[in-house]
Amino acid sequence: MAMNVGGGSGDDEVVSAINTTPLVDVMLVLLIIFLITIPVATHTVKVKLPVDANQPTQTKPGNIVLAVTSDGQTYWNTIPVRSQHELVDRLTEAAKQRPQPQVQIRGDASVKYLAVGQIVTACQQAGIAHVDFITEQPH
């Protein structure tokens, strides 16, 4: 076996070529790791999502329209509601009617979710079975 330890001529040559073999090896290993882990990361539980059935709602005289202004004030049709307790009491009386009236919630676009969530909670506590949200069609 022979080994080249340098030329006897005394000229030191600089090797200007880059060895790309380690770079290619690392890239192939990363590619394999990504191919193995991507299907695991995107695995989700199979559920059947509900289909959107956006139908125009007719406001009938027996329906209850609860409006929430941008400052969080709640209105029963056009009458202001003073407290959450008053709202629950009025909804409980309405829930005793047969058939139950629909509750339609009209929330201002800039109102905080808390105000609308309190109305939904009051409907749930009163036993209201049907709650609608009134929205506008996008332009």
CATH of the domain at 102: 3.30.420.270
- 47 inside domain: no
Q: What is the extent of the structural domain holding 126?
A: 64-133
- 2 inside domain: no
- 81 inside domain: yes
- 41 inside domain: no
Q: Report the predicted TM-score, pTM, of the whole model to 2 decimal places.
A: 0.57
- 35 inside domain: no
Which residue in the block uniquely carries the two structure tokens 């929205």? 135
User: What's the angle, vertex CA 76, arms to CA 71 and CA 81, rounded to 5?
Assistant: 60
Q: Say if residues 137 and 109 touch (Cβ distance below 8 Å).
A: no
- 6 inside domain: no
19, pLDDT greater than 60: yes
Q: What is the pLDDT of residue 24?
A: 92
2, pLDDT greater than 90: no
The number of domains in the chain is: 1
Q: What is the pLDDT of residue 130?
A: 86
- 16 inside domain: no
pLDDT in tens, 84-136: 899 999 999 998 988 888 898 988 888 888 988 999 999 999 998 888 888 77
- 116 inside domain: yes
Q: What is the pLDDT of residue 52?
A: 59
pLDDT in tens, 60-79: 677 888 999 988 899 998 89
How does residue 56 score in pLDDT terms, banded at 50, 70 and 90? low
How does residue 37 score in pLDDT terms, banded at 50, 70 and 90? confident
